[in-house]
Amino acid sequence: MGPGGSRRPRNSQHATPATASAASRNGINGGDQKSKDPEHEFDIIAYRTTFWRTFFFYALSFGTCGIFRLFLHWKPKLHIQFRAKLCSVESADLVLVVDSHDRHQICRVFHRNRDQGTEHTVVANQDGSLTELEDLRWFNYRKLQYTWIDGEWSTPSRAYSHVTPGALLKGGAPLKEDDVALRRTYFGWNVMPVKLSPFYELLYKEVLSPFYIFQIISVTVWYIDDYVYYAALIIVMSLYSVVMTLKQTRSQQRRLQSMVVEHDEVEVIRENGRVMKMDSSEIVPGDILVIPPQGCMMYCDCVLLNGTVIVNESMLTGESIPITKVSLEGLSALADDGHEKIFSMEKHGKNIIFNGTRVLQTKYYKGQHVKALAIRTSYSTTKGQLIRAIMYPKPPDFKFFNELMKFVYVLAGVASIGFIYTSFILLYRGSSVLRMILRACDLVTIVVPPALPAVMGIGIFYAQRRLRQKSIYCISPSTINTCGAIDVVCFDKTGTLTEDGLDFYALRVVENAKIGENIVQIAQNETCQNVVRAIATCHTLSKINHELHGDPLDVIMFEQTGYSLEEDDSESHESIESVQPILIRPPKDSTLPDCQIVKQFTFSSGLQRQSVIVTDEDSMKAYCKGSPEMIMSLCKPETVPDNFHDIVEEYSQHGYRLIAVAEKELVVGSEVQKTPRQSIECDLTLIGLVALENRLKPVTTEVIQKLNEANIRSVMVTGDNLLTALSVARECGIIQSKKTAYLIEHETGVVDKKNRTILTIREKGEHHTQEKQAKSIDLSKMSNKDCQFAISGSTFSVVTHEYPELLDQLVCVCNVFARMAPEQKQLLVEHLQEVGQTVAMCGDGANDCAALKAAHAGISLSEAEASIAAPFTSKVGGVGGVGEESGTGSVNYF
């Protein structure tokens, strides 16, 4: 099997596209490769078997009744070194793949020549086109197919990996049937088969582990030695454990299968633009899909070519609020650095509809198709990557297993001494050889606990059952053991520690750089109509089945305005995005005209803002809302009140969530569709500040208290303001009442002699800053003096780049990390792990996904039971305390 998929049955298990292409590295005979993907970093070493090595391998395996083979089964590296020798990729028939956790796997290399045989040797180019190779070599590893192209191992995700957004738009032409057939030979069918392993196969894998082999030997020794009852008891326990483990593995596979093996009818434009209905398994990268107006499930990763769609990505992110995806149309061709933009899955997430997500609604001109270009199928999609991460998880917890193995080695050392001593004594006393061996082995089996795997297996099984009863679903049972060793739990704030919903508190209008008083009732209040209009239009809400859907923050703000939202059906409106404009109507008795949202720039955590372009009868305006710091930086300084910063601090200190609103007048009829986002979101005029209340969840304080009692450190890592975060942290007990909170800060441009930005520490509440040279900051000492620390993302970034030597200390003593971008959340988790901490991360949103994945134990709070964002998914919607005795007997809380 391999890239010969055109003749392959539809549901065959075919290696599918991957995320990374393996880059060439000068290695042993040119056969040593290293993958670029940091997450799945691995070496690929080429080998060729020889006749004599194979002969000796079989001879020794038979000659030792399989013991030699069993030994090599545990040691794949020795196995391949014994059977084959290093060679170049061109002559290899085996490769040894070594992953970043030093796990080895031997894979067979397949080979096909263009002139031999009937099947094609096509591969994909980086721009998505196909090319035919003279000689095709590939191997399958963890559901992906690696093909030797241009001196490197590449996966099918190589297609569209180096292409401009403009080329993607232009390249979106219907595929011909011949082309489809050729593409299928390389990409395979768009399915993710999860095989239910037969019982005997699972049993074989389980029983061949060194522990079980040792157990078999132990039981045999005891049986011969007349410990019949004890031996029988251990057999019964082990059988029970094996059956439970197998049952668990099978139900795990079934669960995964139900999440993965989904397919349905889709509409694809093929051959001369005909819309054809077909099964989703027939989609190949390059196909153009038609997305129905009423929505559908997505079965591949695709780029939106026109219109706008609203999707629910909860399956991938755990976050169930609808997200708006926009088309590539109108995207500027040049990046910030002036170079041509290159399309990437990371940077253009807002233009990609991912496999496994549900399209709730599409928006475009009536009667026109919303089209999307399939770029990745089956296991190379984002969903495929997550599924692979579940199928081939990281080794549970290195520290835990290393220590467990150390414990076993110490016991084995003690046993060996006993073995030698007993053998010597018995020999000296003239005992028979059989009795001597029996006694000595008996000693070993008593010292090293043979029932250890059985006990752990049973423990995990019951722990998982208990979690399920509490609506916590676990897709990676081995992680349960890790939870017994958690040192730090990182919590996202909004939606995790605090309620998802917010309460509107007040609006303060800014006019002529003066800030007004609190306005609590904003609808129809004459004094704030301009800001109300901005709030009513600046969002990405949509109406699905007559209900407003979107970010809870947007919903709550919109509902205060008294405005209503309608999709504009009239033919006359010229929309900038060639999307049906959204009509915003003021309250009935208002004299203000209706207005249309003609362009939306979606919210992103990294940008901390969101904006829209709105037109009414005779004007065109851009409205922008976001975090006060961000909006202030985009506003003309003369429009920002002098005391604005102080006012923001005051609200933040009381835990309010703040959103600043700004506007900009645009010239009617100007070509704003071609204007990049950064040209719209600049030189703004500040017009208002909205304060929202964000209450703690009832269970939060109790959970933090339990963690404190268990000596597990709680850390808040949030995208919100530092002072707001600090106030919430104080309220829930992350910052303890008897401790003083210190803020670690910096001032941009203020540098020391070494040209490093000066870090300052100030006590929360003090307005003066007590400057200290970075060197004199000894955070670890200060933490002993009843201090706790908080830092914001920008200072964290300064420390990361300019004071890497402080980072270890910082992550160990800081309890609040605010204004953290998604990648900083991940960096924090990774750094905590680097300093030897076992980390759990608890989050609810798309901005927590990377951190959830990086943590030893990720806990996603999600409505979606089947979220694959983290090993644990809690449906209870809170950080409900879970006292759970895992297989290790520890009590865990999360």
Ligand X SMILES: Nc1ncnc2c1ncn2[C@@H]1O[C@H](COP(=O)(O)OP(=O)(O)OP(=O)(O)O)[C@@H](O)[C@H]1O
Figure out which of the listed residues 397, 681, 720, 745 binds ligand X, where binding follows CB under 6 A: 720
Distance, CA of 646 to CA of 403 (rounded, Å)? 52
Q: Which residue's CB is nearer to ligand X, number 32 or number 551? A: 551
Smallest Cα–Cα separation from 147: which of 89, 212, 201, 99?
A: 89
CA–CA separation, 446 and 217 (whole Å): 12
Residue 384: enclosing H or E segment and its boundaries?
helix 382-391
Give the H or E element holding residue 37.
none
Q: Contact between 610 and ligand X (CB under 6 A)?
A: yes
167 vs 682, beta carbon nearer ligand X: 682
Task: Say if residues 403 and 396 touch (Cβ distance below 8 Å).
Answer: no
The first and second tokens of residue 390, run together, are: 């579940």
In whole angstroms, how close is the CB of 851 to ligand X at the nearest point? Answer: 10
Q: Which is nearer to ligand X, 306 or 324 (CB)?
A: 324
Exactly one of 221, 316, 553, 840 binds ligand X (CB under 6 A); which one? 553
Does the protein bind ligand X through residue 608 (CB under 6 A)? Answer: yes
Between vectors from CA 357 to CA 356 and to CA 358, what angle results, nearest 5°? 125
User: Is 778 among the residues known to form the active site?
Assistant: no
Nearer to ligand X, 152 or 500 (CB): 500
Smallest distance from the beta carbon of 673 to ligand X, in angstroms?
Answer: 22
* Region near ligand X per CB under 6 A, out of 69-77, 103-111, 285-293, 625-633: 625-633
* Contact status: 442 vs ligand X (CB under 6 A): no
| Tokens standing for residue 45 | 């070493």
Burial class (CB in 10 A: 0-12, 13-18, 19+), 564: middle
Selected range binding ligand X among 38-46, 163-171, 190-198, 491-499, rule: CB under 6 A: 491-499
Burial class (CB in 10 A: 0-12, 13-18, 19+), 29: middle
At a CB cut-off of 8 Å and minimum separation 6, what does 184 contact?
5, 6, 284
Q: Is 828 in the site for ligand X (CB under 6 A)?
A: no
State the residue number with the nearest CB to ligand X: 719
Give the chain's radius of gyration (CA, Å).
31
Total number of residues that touch ligand X (CB under 6 A)? 21
Residue 369's alpha-carbon distances to 171, 210, 305, 512, in angstroms, are 17, 59, 10, 46
Angle CA(606)–CA(608)–CA(613) in degrees, nearest 5?
A: 115
Tell which one of 31, 193, 285, 626 touches ligand X (CB under 6 A): 626
Minimum distance, C-beta of residue 877 to ligand X, in the bound complex (Å)? 15
Name the minimum Å distance from CB 324 to ligand X: 11
Residue 267: helix, strand or coil by DSSP? strand
Looking at 164, 324, 847, 862, which residue binds ligand X (CB under 6 A)?
Answer: 847
> How far is the C-alpha of 611 from the C-alpha of 624, rounded, in Å?
4
Q: Does 537 engage in binding with ligand X (CB under 6 A)?
A: no
CA distances 235 to 173, 206, 408, 832, Å, are: 64, 15, 21, 42
Q: Report if residue 663 touches ligand X, rule: CB under 6 A.
A: no
- The answer to whether residue 494 forms part of the interface with ligand X (CB under 6 A) is yes
Binding of residue 492 to ligand X (CB under 6 A): yes
Q: Does 504 bind ligand X (CB under 6 A)?
A: no
Q: Is 659 in the site for ligand X (CB under 6 A)?
A: yes
**Judged by CB under 6 A, which of 206, 551, 577, 802 binds ligand X?**
551
Of 383, 609, 746, 831, the one binding ligand X (CB under 6 A) is: 609
Q: Which residues contact 593 (CB under 8 A, 6 or more apart)?
A: 586, 616, 617
Buried-exposed string 513-549: b where 16+ CB fall within 10 A, e elsewhere:
bebbeebeebeeeeebbbbbbbbbbbbbbbbeeeebb
Residue 320 contacts ligand X per CB under 6 A: no
Closest approach of Cβ 880 to ligand X, in Å? 18
Q: Min. distance of Cβ 794 from ligand X in angstroms?
A: 13
Separation of first and last alpha carbons in the chain: 45
> Segment contacting ligand X (CB under 6 A): 328-336, 456-464, 602-610, 759-767?
602-610
719 binding ligand X? (CB under 6 A):
yes
Q: Which residues does 77 contact at the CB level (< 8 Å), separation at least 6?
A: 96, 98, 104
CB atoms under 10 Å from CB of 196, counted, come to 14
Nearer to ligand X, 431 or 605 (CB): 605
718 interacts with ligand X by CB under 6 A? yes
Copy the structure tokens of residue 819. Answer: 């204004």
What is the β-pairing status of strands 152-154 and 787-792?
unpaired
Q: Which residue has the tokens 């929360």?
A: 764
SS (H, E, C) 826-860: HHHHHHHHHCCCCEEEEECCHHHHHHHHHCCEEEE
133 vs 861, which CB is nearer to ligand X?
A: 861
Instruction: Given the residues 287, 301, 492, 848, select the one marked as catalytic.
Output: 492
Please select the residue that binds ligand X; options are 603, 656, 893, 894, rule is CB under 6 A.
603
From the CB of 610, what's the least distance to ligand X, in Å?
4
Cβ at position 661, least distance to ligand X in Å: 9
Instruction: Tell me the window of 207-215, 517-525, 551-559, 748-756 that interacts with ligand X (CB under 6 A).
Output: 551-559
Residue number, 18 or 624, with CB nearest to ligand X? 624
CB closer to ligand X out of 374 and 729 = 729
Given the complex with ligand X, which of 426 and 553 has the nearer CB atom?
553
Nearer to ligand X, 362 or 608 (CB): 608
Pick the closer one to ligand X by CB: 202 or 553: 553
Candidate segments 103-111, 170-178, 373-381, 608-616, binder of ligand X by CB under 6 A:
608-616
User: Would you say 448 and 417 are in contact if contact means Cβ atoms under 8 Å apart?
Assistant: no
Contact in structure between 748 and 795 (CB atoms under 8 Å): no
500 lines the binding site for ligand X (CB under 6 A): no
Stretch binding ligand X (CB under 6 A), from 115-123, 267-275, 359-367, 607-615: 607-615
Q: Name residue 33's beta-bridge partners.
A: 24, 44
Contacts of 273 (CB under 8 A, 6+ apart): 174
Q: Which stretch binds ligand X (CB under 6 A): 3-11, 288-296, 350-358, 547-555?
A: 547-555
Q: Is 493 in the site for ligand X (CB under 6 A)?
A: yes
Return the number of the residue (324 or 377) whose C-beta is nearest ligand X: 324
The window from 20-28, 276-284, 427-435, 490-498 that contacts ligand X (CB under 6 A) reads 490-498
Q: Is 554 in the site for ligand X (CB under 6 A)?
A: yes
Name the residue nearer to ligand X (CB basis): 718 or 892: 718
Q: Which of 143, 158, 371, 625 binds ligand X (CB under 6 A)?
A: 625
Q: Is residue 549 near ligand X by the rule CB under 6 A?
A: no
β-bridge mates for residue 861, sequence order: 874
Rounded least distance, CB 637 to ligand X, Å:
20
Using CB under 6 A, pick the residue from 185, 627, 714, 826 that binds ligand X: 627
Alpha carbon distances (Å) from 80 to 72, 88, 98, 107, 140: 9, 15, 12, 10, 17
Stretch that binds ligand X, among 172-180, 270-278, 435-443, 713-721 (CB under 6 A): 713-721
User: Closest Cα partner for 698 from 548, 877, 872, 840?
Assistant: 877
Residues annotated as part of the active site:
492
| Residues that bind ligand X in the complex, under the rule CB under 6 A | 492-495, 551, 553-554, 603, 605, 608-610, 625-627, 659, 718-720, 845, 847
